[in-house]
Amino acid sequence: MKTVNMHDAKTNLSRLVDRAAQGEPFIIAKAGKPMARVSAMSAPQSAQVRRLGFLMGQFNTPDDFDRMGEAQITALFGLDA
């Protein structure tokens, strides 16, 4: 991966971002110390991928789910339903 110093990155930012968007990531360094990595955003990283319904069929929700613990809650808070 290419490393670019801060001054060159500021001078050539547009060109560098275009190259990163084409799949050539680069690192911006300040005084030789890596500070930031620039890469394309076209594909989400594995931590960002959300899979809706991936547990479908693996467990069942009881029919009285919305009333579970109703007696205990009433006893604790003295609510008269």
Q: Which domains does the chain have, with CATH numbers?
A: 1-41 (3.40.1620.10)
The DSSP annotation for 36-52 comes to EEE---SS--GGG---T
How many Å apart are CA 50 and CA 48, to the nearest integer? Answer: 6
pTM of the shown model:
0.50
| pLDDT over 70 (residue 64) | yes
Exposed / middle / buried, residue 9 (Cβ in 10 Å: 0-12, 13-18, 19+)? buried
How many Å apart are CA 52 and CA 20, to the nearest integer? Answer: 30
> Tell me, what's the pLDDT at 11?
95
Confidence of residue 47 (pLDDT cuts 50, 70, 90): low
